[in-house]
């Protein structure tokens, strides 16, 4: 498998608290990588390193995250361009209080340069890719807040996909959803990985097993084990991993 991102000796501190401890890990192109671990292990914070969303909470970071041969933590990185390449979907569906169309077009419009018909095409394409097009094509001008929770979350995925990112970060995207909507998002991940790399944080171990190709187990800020999902779930090397996936703690 081809590498998209390489994390080298990543450490993160909030004040004197050492949250992420010397993480080394590769993320492979066009695959689904799951990050699992008990609450408070730092998995969401870790995810936010990949699009520099920790810039706003006073975190101190050292180590490298290489994407396309550049360290995204470098001072020269243009975070607005980085975030076009690295999309994100959050735990709670958070569409803007704008129309369905404007939500998906948001990323395209703020970066400018595209003509109206190009934006329209991309919006349609993105909505189709998250299987939302047929449900909303007649009501693109309606407020996105009128959609159901599951639809909103897929809209957020469409919004993240509209700028054609190389990787999408999913931060527990189904934790606020009902089982049916969850199922849809999971199926969607499997479908989308042909086009885009997916890094998903989940507290749902079964979900990681169902949809991911690689699984990383994070515990108290340390990367305990990282391997192909089928190996992690059948022959874990570390005792902690085994205990966690068999439900002994967490």
Partner 1 sequence: MKRKFIEILGETFLRLSIIISLIFLFLFLFMIFSKGIKVISWEFLTRMPRSGMTKGGIYPAILGTFWITIVSIFIAFPIGIFSGIFLSEYGKPKWLVDIIKTSINTLSGTPSIVFGLFGLSVFVIGLNLKVSILSGGLTLAILILPTIINSTVEAINSVPFDFREAALSLGATKSQVIRNVVLPYAMPGILTGTIISVGRAAGETAPILFTAATFYSRRLPKSLMDEVMAMPYHIYALMTEGTSPQYQIPIAYGTAIVLLILILFINGSAIFLRYRIRKRRG
Span 143-162, contacts to partner 1 by CB under 8 A: 143-146, 156, 159-160
Sequence-separated (6 or more) residues with CB below 8 Å from residue 112: none
Q: What gap in Å lies between CA 85 and CA 119, rounded to an integer?
A: 17
CB 218 within 8 A of CB 46: yes
Q: Does 173 bind partner 1 (CB under 8 A)?
A: no
Span 99-118, contacts to partner 1 by CB under 8 A: 106-107, 110-111
Q: What tokens appear for 99 in the block? A: 């129309």
Of the two residues 52 and 193, which places its CB atom closer to partner 1 in the complex? 52
Q: What gap in Å lies between CA 43 and CA 31, rounded to an integer?
A: 19
Sheet holding 59-67, edge to edge: 70-71, 59-67, 3-14, 17-28, 222-228, 214-219, 32-36, 197-201, 167-171, 86-89
Q: Does 132 bind partner 1 (CB under 8 A)?
A: no
In the complex, least distance from residue 141 CB atom to partner 1, rounded to whole angstroms: 10
In the complex, least distance from residue 221 CB atom to partner 1, rounded to whole angstroms: 22
In the complex, least distance from residue 245 CB atom to partner 1, rounded to whole angstroms: 30
Q: What tokens appear for 43 in the block? A: 């998995």
Span 71-90, contacts to partner 1 by CB under 8 A: 79-84, 87-88, 90
Interface with partner 1 (CB under 8 A): 51, 53, 56, 79-84, 87-88, 90, 92, 94-98, 106-107, 110-111, 142-146, 156, 159-160, 163
């Amino acid at each position: 498998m081809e590498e998209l991102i390489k994390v080298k000796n990543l450490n993160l501190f909030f004040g004197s608290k050492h949250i992420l401890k010397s993480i080394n890990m590769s993320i492979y192109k066009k695959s689904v990588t799951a990050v699992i671990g008990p609450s408070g292990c730092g998995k969401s914070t870790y995810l936010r390193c990949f699009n520099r969303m920790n810039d706003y909470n006073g975190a101190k970071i050292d180590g490298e995250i290489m994407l396309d041969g550049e360290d995204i933590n470098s001072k020269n990185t243009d975070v607005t361009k980085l975030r076009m390449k690295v999309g994100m979907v959050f735990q709670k569906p958070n569409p803007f209080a704008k129309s369905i169309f404007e939500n998906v077009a948001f990323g395209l419009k703020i970066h400018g340069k595209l003509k109206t018909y190009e934006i329209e095409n991309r919006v349609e394409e993105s909505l189709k890719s998250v299987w939302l097009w047929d449900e909303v094509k007649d009501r693109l001008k309606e407020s996105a807040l009128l959609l159901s929770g599951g639809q909103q979350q897929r809209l957020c995925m469409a919004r993240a996909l509209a700028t054609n990112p190389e990787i999408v970060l999913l931060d527990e995207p189904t934790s606020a959803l009902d089982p049916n909507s969850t199922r849809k998002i999971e199926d969607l991940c499997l479908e989308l990985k042909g086009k885009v790399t997916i890094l998903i944080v989940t507290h749902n171990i079964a979900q990681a097993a169902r949809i991911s190709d690689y699984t990383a187990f994070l515990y108290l800020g340390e990367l305990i084990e990282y391997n192909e999902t089928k190996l992690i779930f059948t022959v874990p090397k570390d005792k902690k991993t085994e205990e966690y996936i068999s439900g002994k703690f967490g």
